[in-house]
Amino acid sequence: MSQKEETNEELKAKQNEEHEEAIDASGVSEVEAEMTELDSTKAELSEMEDKFLRARAEIANMSNRFKNERELLVRYRSQDLGKKLLPSIDNLERAMAIEVDDEQGASLKKGISMVLESVQAALKEEGIEEIPAIGEAFDPNLHQAVQTIPASAETPADTIVEVLQKGYKLHERVLRASMVVVAQ
C-alpha cells in the first residue's frame, strides 16, 4: 500500500470513528430526549389524575349538599302554609273564647271547635306544634316578651305568667314566637 492509500484509509477510519461517535452522541441525546419526554408525560398524567380526583370529590360534595337541601325542603315544605294558617287559628280560638247563651250559638261554637281541632290535627301531622309557654322559663329564641310584671314567691323571675299570642314551631324551626308576659 502506498502512503497515499494509507492516508486515505486512515482518513476514512477517522471519519468512520467520528461518524460513529456522532451516532453514539445523537443516540444518547435521543435516549435523553425520550426520557425527558417520558418524565413530562408522567408529570402530566399525575396532574390529570389529581384533577380527576379533585373533580370527583367536588361532585361527591355537591351531591351530598343537594341531598341535604332536598331533605330540608321536604322537612320544612309546610312552613309557608303553616305561617299563613296561624292567623286563622288565632281567630278560631278567639271565636271559641266567646260565651254563648242560646242553643244556636252553642251549635255554632261546636262547629268552630270541630274546625279548629281538624286544623290543629293537620298541622300536627305536618310537624307544626304549639310552643309551650305558661309556667315555662323565658327563652328569647322561642318567646317574645311583650310585658313584664314583678316576680313574687308564686312566680319566680324569668317565668312566663301569661300568653298573649301562641307561638308555633315546625320541628325545631320557630314559625312564630309566643308573645308572653314575663315575671321579673
Instruction: Give 167's strand partners.
Output: none
**Residue 6 in this model has a pLDDT that exceeds 80:** no
Three-state SS at 28: helix
Q: Quick one: average pLDDT of 15-38? A: 68
Measured distance between the N- and C-terminal CA atoms of the chain, rounded to whole angstroms: 130
**Residue 20 in this model has a pLDDT that exceeds 80:** no
Nearest residue to 127 (alpha-carbon basis) of 76, 179, 51: 76
pLDDT at 30: 78
Element (H, E) at 26: helix 3-75
Number of domains in the chain: 2
pLDDT at 18: 62
**Residue 14 in this model has a pLDDT that exceeds 90:** no
Give the HSE-up count for residue 27: Cα atoms under 13 Å, Cβ half-sphere.
6
Tell me: do 133 and 159 sit in the same domain.
Answer: yes
Per-residue pLDDT of 110-137, as tens digits, reads: 999 999 999 999 999 999 999 999 989 9
Provide the residue range defining the domain that includes 4: 1-75
The set of cell numbers assigned to 114 is 270541630
Tell me: do 92 and 178 sit in the same domain.
Answer: yes
Tell me: do 84 and 115 sit in the same domain.
Answer: yes
Per-residue pLDDT of 141-181, as tens digits, reads: 999 999 999 988 888 888 999 999 999 999 889 999 999 99
Domain closes at, from 75, 93, 123: 75
Tell me: do 173 and 88 sit in the same domain.
Answer: yes
Per-residue pLDDT of 42-77, as tens digits, reads: 999 999 999 999 999 999 999 999 999 999 888 888
Domain closes at, from 75, 110, 126: 75
Per-residue pLDDT of 80-105, as tens digits, reads: 889 999 999 999 999 999 998 999 99
pLDDT at 151: 86
Which one has a higher pLDDT value, 33 or 19? 33
Q: How confident is the model at residue 32 (pLDDT cuts 50, 70, 90)?
A: confident
